Chain A
Amino acid sequence: MNAHSHTDTPRHADRVGYALVSPYVVFFLLFVGYPLIFSFVLMFHRWNIVTPMEWIGLRNFERLLGDPLFYASITNTFIFLFVHIPLQLAAALGIAVLLNMNVRFRGFFRTLYFLPVVVSGVVVTILWQQLYAYDAGLLNRLMTALGAARIPWLVNPDIAMGSIAIMATWKNVGIYIVLFLAGLQNIPSELYESASLDGASPAARFFRITLPMLNPTVVVVLVLSTIGGFSLFIEPYVLTGGGPMQSTLSGVLYIYYQAFNFGHMGYAATLGFVLAVLVFAVVVLQRKSVETEGTV
């Protein structure tokens, strides 16, 4: 790749290289390598950190398969994704298409839409707790002002997870607007011109040109939203504590409770491993079904 100055003997070059990468090697061993191996060990043990570890074979996995709270956390995650992903795609793409229309003050709008992305999830969650409050929350005041009924955003188990999904969309949509805008600007305008000459309607142009050309961005949105869904923690932790009736218990929140409220380190590690495998599987499946290589 890069030509070496011949004053360097190979040995010397090796040594300098190793010295420079050594911080990463140490970091990797401590914070990736060791945790990966140790999590594998933990999965076969019962351990509360204080007393010695106890080998229990596959009992953590047996327990997991019969644990209604584990299933609840997975179901909740999929409910979240089911609401969040379409909403995120529609909102981000919609706003990006509007901003791409030769708008004045585009930078100003983009800056405002991006604001929730940079602010801590804790702030957003505390803020939305007020927006979602049943009696005095702003959203329900708006509903009653419009003559509609109050919505039990966080108190009804059937819609609490959906409410969290809406909040997460509001927080993250700015970043996907920026990605879609970049994607839109990369589409050659000749494609649209020749399609117009062929008499294609605006809708046809959107579905035949815009959407296929944005496929890589759509995949990014899918993957990042999915990873985000499986990483939910602070939102339910602050808003609902996982309730009502476990309806907002997320995978990571459940791991946190098992490890730090009950001291079940082995079981928490097992949950973490299974959750990670699930994220991986879902992401691979999404890529397989949505990614269209070679259209660009």
Chain B
Amino acid sequence: MKRGLLYAVLIAGAVVFAYPFLWMFASSLKPEAEIGGFGLWSSSAGFHNYAEVFSRIPIGRALFNSILTSTISTTSVIVFGSMVGYALARLNFRGRDGLYYLILFTMMVPFQVTLIPQYVLMVALGITDTYLAIVAPTLLSAFSIVLFRQFFRGIPQAFIDAARIDGCSEWTILRRIILPMARPVVVTVAILTFMTSWNEVLWPLIVVRERSLMTMPQLVTLFTIGGESEALLGLQLAAATLLALPIIVGYSFFQRSFIESMASAGIKG
């Protein structure tokens, strides 16, 4: 009896969190007049809203832009973050600890302070309306460096010494020995960076005005609040579904990694 109640509450919770997404997807397939009911089924379901979204805004291009910029950010954060993390964890050089404290300090700087000057920098460099501007502030992250450093400190010194005796450079040690052992942290950093950059919308809104360069969240936002969707729910929900789909597909394959990565990011607070 008591357990029955427990499961009833948990299932109600599942409905609260999952049903709106199902409703969004189902409604995006319906003709405008049918949207609004609770039901998910429609006999006249089809992809006409999607066809309409594709014909009104360059959403295919935006999808490409989002994949490109998120991939660049993720690759860059893994390459540079692991380099810096390795140096901080495994090399002795003057100023190392000071640099580490500086990195920890930058994690506490609220973005509200740096937002406007970062935009000014993009203007000064003449790179607004470029891919470079979209990715520039995300090419490295303090948090990823801290994660890499933490993991690399746990790797036994013997591996590194053996490689040094074989005459490997530090760069080779990092690439051939350390990184292959560091898969869990690479996955965490990759998921966090890709997701953050995929979902980021404020920065692209600021530095990109040219439609062909817009990322997906940005284009979908402007489509929804601007006149182009003509307040048609079907179109807005179709655009939102397209934006959600890649992350939901990724999430359904790697739920555990997503959850663990996000939880580790939460703990840093």
Q: Which residues of A contact B (CB under 8 A)?
A: 1-5, 7, 10, 13-14, 16-18, 20-21, 23-25, 27-28, 30-32, 34-36, 38-39, 42, 49, 95, 98-99, 101, 103, 107, 109-123, 126-131, 136, 138, 141, 170, 174-176, 178-179, 182, 220, 223-224, 227, 230-231, 233-234, 237-238, 241, 251-252, 255-256, 259-260, 265, 268-269, 271-273, 275-276, 279-280
Subset of 15 A-B contacts with CB under 8 Å: A2-B90, A2-B157, A21-B83, A30-B121, A49-B123, A101-B6, A118-B248, A121-B199, A122-B201, A122-B224, A122-B240, A220-B269, A269-B117, A272-B114, A276-B113
- Contact assessment for B267 and A179 in the assembled complex, using a CB-CB cutoff below 8 Å: yes
A157 to chain B, nearest CB (A): 20
A187 to chain B, nearest CB (A): 17
**B90 & A220 in contact (Cβ 8 Å cutoff):** no
Most chain-A CB neighbours within 10 Å: which of B14, B119, B236, B269? Answer: B269
Closest to B19 in A: A138
Q: What is the distance, in angstroms, from B268's C-beta to the closest C-beta of chain A?
A: 9
Given A32-B109, A231-B111, A276-B110: A259 and B38 within 8 A (CB)? no
Beta-carbon contact of B164 and A5 below 8 Å: yes
- B263 and A16 contacting across the interface, CB-CB below 8 Å: no
Asked if B10 and A98 make an inter-chain contact with CB atoms under 8 angstroms apart, the answer reads yes
B247 contacts the other chain (CB 8 A): yes
Mask of B229-269 contacts with A, CB within 8 angstroms, 1/0: 00001001101110110011001000100110011001101
Report the separation of the CA atoms of residues A179 and B259 in the bound assembly, to the nearest whole angstrom: 10
How many Å lie between the Cα of A224 and that of B269 in the bound state? 6
Known: A24-B140, A98-B9, A114-B258. A123 touches B269 (CB 8 A): no
A115→B114 contact, CB < 8 A: no
Task: Say yes or no: A120 contacts B247, CB within 8 Å.
Answer: yes
Query: Inside 8 A of B41's CB, which chain A residues have their CB?
Result: none
Residues on A with C-beta less than 8 A from B108 are: 280
Stretch of B49-57, B91-99, B180-188 on the interface side: B91-99
The interface residues of chain B, by DSSP majority, are classed as helix
Query: Is the beta-carbon distance between A120 and B199 smaller than 8 angstroms?
Result: yes
Q: Are B236 and A119 in contact (CB under 8 A)?
A: no
| B106 CB–A CB distance under 8 Å | yes
Closest A residue to B217 by CB, please name it.
Answer: A122
A127 touches B240 (CB 8 A): yes
Inter-chain CA distance A26–B86, complex, in Å, is: 17
Residues 101 to 139 of chain B near chain A (Cβ within 8 Å):
102-103, 106, 108-121, 123, 136-137, 139
Complex Cα distance A112/B255, Å? 10
Q: Which residues of B contact A256 (CB under 8 A)?
A: 202, 205-206
**Docked complex: B161-190 residues within 8 A CB-CB of A:** 161, 164-165, 170-171, 174
Give the shortest distance, in Å, between B80 (CB) and chain A (any CB). Answer: 4
Q: A17-B92, A99-B10, A115-B248 are in contact. Are A126 and B18 (CB under 8 A)?
A: no
B46 at interface by CB-CB < 8 Å: no
State the CA gap A227–B9 with chains docked (Å): 30
In the complex, the answer to whether A237 meets B225 with C-beta atoms within 8 Å is yes
Within 29-79 of B, Cβ neighbours of A (below 8 Å) are at 36-38
Q: Does B88 belong to the interface (CB within 8 Å)?
A: yes
- Do A23 and B83 have beta carbons less than 8 Å apart? yes
Q: Which of B10, B80, B248 has the most CB of A within 10 A?
A: B10
Q: Is B262 within 8 A of A27, CB to CB?
A: no
CA distance A129 to B121 in the complex (A): 35
B83, A118: Cβ atoms under 8 Å? no
Which B residues touch A272, using CB under 8 A? 112-116
The minimal Cβ–Cβ distance linking A24 to chain B, given in whole angstroms, is 5
Q: Which 8 A-B pairs have the closest CB atoms?
A: A17-B93, A35-B117, A20-B87, A35-B114, A276-B110, A120-B199, A38-B117, A23-B80
Contact of A279 with B112 in the complex, beta carbons under 8 Å:
yes
Q: Is the CB of B267 within 8 A of A220?
A: yes
User: CB of B220 within 8 A of chain A?
Assistant: yes
Quick one: which of B84, B225, B243 contacts A120, CB cutoff 8 A?
B243
Bound CA span A34–B202, Å: 20
B84 touches A23 (CB 8 A): yes
Within the complex, the shortest CB–CB distance from B108 to chain A, in Å, comes to: 8
CA A3 – CA B13 in complex, angstroms?
53
CB distance from B137 to the nearest CB of A (A): 5
Contact B10 A109 (CB under 8 A): yes
Docked Cα-Cα span, A113 to B255, in Å, equals 12
Cβ–Cβ < 8 Å partners of A7 in chain B:
164
A42 contacts which chain B residues (CB < 8 A)? Answer: 116-117, 120
Closest residue to B206 on the A side, CB-wise?
Answer: A260
Q: Which residues of A contact B94 (CB under 8 A)?
A: 14
Contact (A5, B112) CB under 8 Å given A21-B99, A175-B262:
no
- B224 adjacent to A126 (CB under 8 Å): yes
Q: Knowing A14-B94, A138-B23, A182-B263 touch, does A112 contact B109 (C-beta < 8 A)?
A: no
**B residues in contact with A122, CB < 8 Å:** 199, 201, 217, 220-221, 224, 240, 243
Q: Which residues of B contact A17 (CB under 8 A)?
A: 87, 91-93, 96
Q: Point out the residues of chain B lying under 8 angstroms from A182, CB to CB.
A: 263
Interface contact A275-B110, CB-CB below 8 Å: yes
Known: A35-B117, A119-B244, A268-B116. A230 touches B266 (CB 8 A): no
